[in-house]
Amino acid sequence: MTKFFTALFLLIGIVSMQAQTLQSPDKNLTLTFSLTPNGVPVYELSYKNKPVIKTSNLGIETKDVPSFLEGFSMKDSKTSTFDETWQPVWGEQKDIRNHYNELAVTIEQKSVQNRHIIIKFRLFNDGLGFRYEFPEQPNLTYFVIKEEKTQFALAGNHKAFWLPGDFDTQEYSTVTSRLSEVRGKMKEAITPNASQFPFSPTGLQTPLMMKSEDGLYINIHEAALIDYACLSLELDDKTMVFNAFLTPDAQGNKGYLQAPTKTPWRTIVVSDDARNILASKLILNLNEPTKYEDVSWIKPVKYIGVWWEMITGKSSWAYTDLPSVKLGEIDYTKTKRNPKHAANTENVKNHIDFASKHGFDAVLVEGWNEGWEDWFGKSKDFVFDFVTPYPDFDVKYLNEYAASKNVKLMMHHETSGSVRNYERHMDKAYQFMVDNGYNSVKSGYVGNIIPRGEYHYGQWMVNHYLHAITKAAEYKIMVNAHEAIRPTGLSRTYPNLIGNESARGTEFESFGGNNPDHTTILPFTRLMGGPMDYTPGIFQTQIKEFNPDNTSFVHTTLAKQLALYVTMYSPLQMAADLPENYNKHLDAFQFIKDVAIDWDESYILEAEPGDYITIARKAKGKNEWFVGGITDENKRTATVDFSFLPKGKTFEAIVYGDAKNADYINNPQAYEIKKIKVTSKTKLKQNLATSGGFAISVK
C-alpha cells in the first residue's frame, strides 16, 4: 500500500511539475529540468534517447542559513542559443567553436523570504554544463557550504577509469573496473603519497571517465573552478548514484560564499564515439575568455632540465648532507658540498649548451636554491625563500650565458606546501625571475599544506593557486604548477597557466613504473581540464643503467615515449631524459626536436580509453603534421588515415616505430625509423609493441 501511494504521488508530481526541456544544437542530447512535489530541483540527461543521467537532485546544503535543497517553486525560465568561434592563445586547434543552447531557470523558496537562485544549463553537442548562481538579493549575502548536493544518477553499472577520491593528491594509478567493484578495489588503489587524505571507500576523483554497456562514453568533471572547493564524487554503489563531495577546510566547512556569486560548472561530456571525448572543448568553452589584454608574452615552451637525474636518485637537490637547516642563519659557503648536487653552474651550462644546440626554448633547474636539506615532511614553515641560490649556482652568469645561447632558464619554486611562506615571498620571487631572465616557473606543492589542516584541493588552496597565476601575470611569468588542483579549463581565462601536473607523471616511472595503459587513459581523465606537464621522452628506460640503486624501469618502449609528444597535448613539453641518453639516440631524438607544441588542428584518429590512442595534429602556422599512436600492454596494429592532409599532394613522412622484436619489458629501445611517402589517401598500418607506440612527422 505504501509503495502504491509513493508511486501514485510521484506520478502526480511528475504531472504537476513544470518540466523544462532543452536540446543540444544537433538534438542528440536532451536535458530535462523539473521540480519534485517537495520542490527539490532535479535534472536528467539523455543521448540519442539513451539515458545518461537519470533523475538527479540538485542543491546546496548550507551551514548558517537555510539550505538550497527543497521548497523551491518556479519563478522564471529563459532559453537562449550561443554560437561563436574563438582563438585560444595556445591549444590543440586554432579555432574553437563554442556552440550551445542554454536554459536558465530561476527557482525561489517562498518560505525563505522568496530567496531565489538560478540553475544554468548549457547543452553542447558534446555534453552538458550546469552551475548554480546566487543573484544579489536582500535576503542572501554570506553563506557557508556544508555540502553540495548535486547528484549524477547513472543508468548502469558502468566501466569506470577511476582514482581514489582524495583531498590532497591525484597521483594514483587509474583503476579500471565496474562501478560496483570500486569499494572492493579501493584499499589497494590507495598507494602511498607524500600527502594524501582519501575520504570514502567509494570516493572518486574527477575527471571520471566511464563507458556504459551500450557503448556510451561519459565523462564527469567541472569547469572554471574559482574560489570554490574541488568537486569529488561519492558513489552510492547500490543505486549507482554519484553524490558531489567537496573538499573541506580545516574546520570541515566546504566553502564561504558571498552573493552575487556562482559555483563552477559541473560537466558531463557524452558520446558514443570515444574520439569525441578527446575532441571535446566543452570545458574550455565553459570558461571565460582571457582576462589579459596583452598575451604576447605567453608562448609554448619545449624544454630540458636538471631534473631526471634527481628523480632517479643519481643526483641530489640538496647542496649539503646536513639533516636540517635554518634559512638566514646557515652560511652555506662554510658547509661541505655534496658532490651529487646537480644544480651547479657547470652542469647547468652543459644543459644550456645541449638545449641551444638542439633548439629547445628553456632549461629547468631544480635544487638551485637554499633550503633543500630538510624541505619535505617536517611541517616546516620557512622552508625556502625562492631567491637565494646555493653557492655553486651562479645565477647571474648562467642567465647571461643562457641569453647568449638564446635559451631561457626555467625557474623552480617548490613550496613544500608551505603556502603562507610562498605568498610572503612571491613578489620578490617573481621579481627575481624578471631580473634574472626567467619567464616561466615550475611550482610545486609537495607534502601537507601549511596552514595546517587545509588540503590541496580545498577552497583556500584553490584560491591560492589562482592568486599565484594572476600575480605571475603581473610579472609576465608563465606558471606550471605541480601538485596543484587539477585543471578545469582555466587556461582559457588565464593562459599563463601553461601546465599542471595533478596526476602520476613520468616521475613515477622512476618510482616503480606507470602502468602500460596509463597514458591511454590520461587524455580521457586528467587532460580533460587542461594540459599536463607529463615530461615524456625517456630513452634510457632502464634506470639502473645510470643509477644502479634504482631498479625501476619505464613501462613503455622508446617509440611510445616519442608518441606521447602528440597524444599528450601540452604547450609545455619536456625532453625529460639526460642529455647523455639522447646523445646515444640522436636519430630518434630528432622527432622530439621536430615536433610542434602548438597546433592549428587536431585529428583524433583512433581512441579507446585504457587501450589505445592515435592522434594527428597540424603544427601552428606550418604545413607540418605530427602523428602519435600508443597502446597499452597489448600489441596492436594502428591504422593511420592520412585524410587530414591536403588532397592531391604527396608528402614525405618519417615514421618512428617499434622494431618488430620490441617489447616494453625486454626490448624497449628497439625502434625503427623509416621514410615513406604519404598522401591524403594513405591508410598506414603500423604495428605497436606491448606498451609500444609510434610517431610520425610529415612535411
Binding interface with its own copies (CB under 8 A): 138, 141-142, 144, 249-251, 253, 256, 258-259, 323-324, 326, 374, 378-381, 420, 423-424, 427, 451-454, 460, 463, 467
Map grid coordinates 588532397 to a residue.
Answer: 647
In this structure, are residues 334 and 382 in contact, taking their beta carbons and an 8 Å threshold? no
* Cα distance between residue 675 and residue 698, in whole Å: 10
Tell me the closest approach of the beta carbon of residue 483 to its own copies, in angstroms.
19
Q: What is the DSSP letter of 93?
A: S
* 87 phi and psi angles, rounded to 5 deg: -115, 120
* Cα distance between residue 433 and residue 663, in whole Å: 44
Name the residue nearer to its own copies (CB basis): 171 or 370.
370
What's the residue count for the chain?
699
Tell me the closest approach of the beta carbon of residue 149 to its own copies, in angstroms.
22
Sign of CA dihedral 628, 632, 635, 638: negative
In this structure, are residues 577 and 540 in contact, taking their beta carbons and an 8 Å threshold? yes
Name the residue nearer to its own copies (CB basis): 246 or 592.
246
Q: From the candidates 507, 608, 633, 672, which is the catalytic residue?
A: 507
Name the residue nearer to its own copies (CB basis): 380 or 555.
380
* Cα distance between residue 78 and residue 504, in whole Å: 43
Name the residue nearer to its own copies (CB basis): 266 or 380.
380
Question: Across 110-230, where does the E strand assignment appear?
Answer: 115-124, 127-134, 142-148, 151-154, 159-162, 175-178, 203-205, 208-211, 217-223
Tell me the closest approach of the beta carbon of residue 297 to its own copies, in angstroms.
22
Q: What is the DSSP letter of 483?
A: S
Tell me the closest approach of the beta carbon of residue 374 to its own copies, in angstroms.
7
DSSP string, 370-424: TTGGG-SSS--SS---SS-B-TT--HHHHHHHHHHTT-EEEEEEE-TTBHHHHHH
* 570 phi and psi angles, rounded to 5 deg: -160, 140
Name the residue nearer to its own copies (CB basis): 420 or 585.
420
Tell me the closest approach of the beta carbon of residue 386 to its own copies, in angstroms.
15
Question: Across 135-249, where does the E strand assignment appear?
Answer: 142-148, 151-154, 159-162, 175-178, 203-205, 208-211, 217-223, 231-236, 241-246
* Cα distance between residue 217 and residue 450, in whole Å: 39
Is 507 among the catalytic positions?
Answer: yes
Name the residue nearer to its own copies (CB basis): 8 or 250.
250
Tell me the closest approach of the beta carbon of residue 291 to its own copies, in angstroms.
12
Tell me the closest approach of the beta carbon of residue 427 to its own copies, in angstroms.
6
β 440-444/408-414 pair status: parallel
648: region left, alpha or beta (phi > 0 left; psi from -120 to 50 alpha): left
Indicate which residues carry an active-site annotation: 507
